[in-house]
């Protein structure tokens, strides 16, 4: 049954450029049909936004679990699921099942495993997975160390027009490190690896992307040296995009004091100079995507000695408010914030969403950007509250969420 057309009035529309514009937005048959100076038509359902921002639903690129309550709380209407599942998304049937798993109130866009079993040796059936609903291909949590495999993979992705999402960390150097080499890791006696492990991986993958014409997306770039490589590759016209999670622009390795395993992340937290470099790269356009890296982990994975704890954080609920801190600090404007959170990830996945534009899917959120709340891991909607931001006061809350014009939260 098709819902009645919906007109949202009294809000401020967050458009791809410029300041938020007062106006209305009308939805019919799941799509945006008009925005701006729009009046409701007879029979429309009318919702007064009461001055809230009307924004695109967030498109979260690279989550490790489908956690609907957390996504709905955070304003996420679409999530690109990493292939690191049990079993991995390396087969068309598994991809097809994952693509259906969000219905009816969530879009799940599976990322097909680049190699069989995510082992980095033999290419998976990429074309068949694309036909089954894979929106891109991903190497998973690990870097593919074999340059020959990576060259064949990129050539194939370029031919199929698929984005390759890669993890940038040279495993030969990173090994079993749990921290970035430096004063904190030394003081705590943690196994560590130099930050250059990231730059080396980025340099190799950029060289192969330039050779093959593949569109390469680094899921997380967290060091100044690697960001410089991405910046110069973009200037040369290499098809490369880069992402980051809020942890790497909000936190540095100083957070590891007291061995807080909620700060055990992959890649590990970096120096404060690298954190500042990430903020600069978001501001100047080197970084294209901010994602949650949502990876809920229970006590059995986190209540362990730091070096034994599993990496990852439950990030979906804090993605929007932490990104809005960059707006309040004057690093980016609201339009850019939602381009990073929705417009760019939607474009990478090739889905008609992520912007307020006539003809696109009506995946929408109402956001009160200054509404204060305190992150509390014991009250999180996520299946596990492993957040490094526990007890942190934040601002910005989603008050309503729509998928294809249907209210879902």
Residues with Cβ within 8 Å of residue 364, at least 6 apart in sequence: 8, 25, 27, 54, 55, 56, 57, 356, 401, 402, 405
Per-state percent for the chain, helix, strand, coil, to nearest 5: 35, 25, 40
The domain locations on the chain are 58-352+371-393
CATH superfamily of 58-352+371-393: Metal-dependent hydrolases (3.20.20.140)
Q: For residue range 274-313, what is the model confidence (pLDDT) as tens digits? A: 999 999 999 999 999 999 999 888 888 888 888 888 888 8
Q: Give bridge partners of residue 17 from the DSSP assignment.
A: none
CA nearest 401: which of 99, 68, 109, 82?
68
CB 75 within 8 A of CB 398: yes
CB 326 within 8 A of CB 254: no
Q: What is the pLDDT of residue 120?
A: 95
Separation CA 27–CA 20 (nearest Å): 19
Q: For residue range 14-48, what is the model confidence (pLDDT) as tens digits? A: 999 999 999 999 999 999 999 999 999 999 999 99
**Helix and strand totals (H; E) in the chain:** 14, 18
Separation CA 355–CA 100 (nearest Å): 23
What is the rounded (10 degree) CA torsion for 368, 371, 377, 378? -100
CA nearest 246: which of 354, 150, 301, 327?
327
From first CA to last CA, the distance across the chain in angstroms is 19
Q: What is the pLDDT of residue 260?
A: 83
Give the long-range contacts of residues 22-26, CB within 8 A, separation 24 or more. 25/54, 25/356, 25/364
Structure tokens at 220: 């997380």
The DSSP bridge pattern shows strands 393-403 and 406-407 to be antiparallel
Q: Helix or strand or coil: residue 49?
A: coil
Q: Which residues, given as ranges, of the chain have pLDDT below 70?
A: 1-2
Compute the radius of gyration of the chain from its Cα atoms.
21
Q: Helix or strand or coil: residue 271?
A: coil
Could you tell me the pTM of the whole model?
0.96
Specify burial of residue 128 (Cβ count, 10 A radius: 0-12, 13-18, 19+). middle
Half-sphere exposure of residue 144: CA atoms within 13 angstroms, side-chain side:
31
């Amino acid at each position: 049954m098709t819902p009645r057309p919906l007109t949202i009035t009294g809000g401020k529309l967050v458009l791809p450029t410029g300041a938020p514009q007062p106006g209305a937005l009308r939805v019919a048959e799941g799509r945006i049909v008009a925005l701006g100076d729009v009046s409701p038509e007879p029979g429309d359902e009318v919702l007064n936004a009461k001055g809230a921002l009307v924004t695109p639903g967030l498109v979260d690129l690279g989550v490790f679990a489908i956690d609907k309550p957390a996504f709905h709380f955070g304003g996420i209407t679409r999530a690109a699921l990493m292939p690191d599942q049990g079993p991995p998304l390396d087969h068309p049937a598994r991809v097809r099942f994952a693509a259906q798993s969000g219905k009816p109130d969530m879009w799940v866009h599976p990322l097909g495993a680049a190699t069989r079993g995510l082992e980095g040796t033999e290419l998976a059936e990429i074309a068949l997975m694309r036909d089954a609903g894979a929106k891109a291909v991903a190497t998973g949590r690990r870097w593919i160390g074999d340059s020959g495999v990576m060259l064949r993979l990129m050539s194939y992705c370029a031919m199929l027009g698929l984005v390759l999402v890669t993890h940038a960390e040279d495993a030969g150097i990173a090994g079993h490190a749990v921290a970035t080499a430096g004063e904190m890791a030394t003081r705590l006696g943690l196994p560590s690896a130099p930050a250059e492990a990231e730059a080396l991986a980025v340099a190799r993958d950029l060289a192969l992307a330039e050779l093959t014409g593949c569109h390469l997306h680094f899921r997380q770039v967290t060091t100044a040296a690697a960001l410089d490589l991405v910046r110069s590759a973009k200037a040369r016209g290499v098809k490369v995009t880069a992402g980051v999670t809020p942890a790497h622009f909000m936190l540095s390795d100083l957070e590891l004091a007291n061995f807080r395993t909620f700060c055990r992340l992959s890649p590990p937290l970096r120096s404060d100079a690298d954190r500042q470099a990430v903020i600069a790269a978001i501001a100047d356009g080197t970084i294209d995507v901010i994602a949650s890296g949502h990876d809920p982990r229970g006590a059995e994975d986190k209540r362990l000695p730091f070096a034994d704890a599993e990496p990852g954080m439950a990030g979906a609920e804090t993605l929007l408010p932490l990104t809005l801190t960059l707006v309040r600090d004057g690093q980016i404007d609201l339009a850019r914030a939602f381009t990073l959170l929705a417009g760019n990830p939607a474009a990478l996945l090739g889905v008609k969403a992520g912007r307020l534009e006539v003809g696109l899917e009506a995946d929408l959120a109402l956001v009160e950007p200054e509404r204060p709340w305190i992150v509390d891991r014991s009250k999180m909607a996520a299946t596990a509250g492993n957040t490094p931001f526990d007890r942190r006061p934040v601002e910005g809350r989603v008050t309503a969420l729509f998928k294809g014009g249907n209210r879902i939260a």
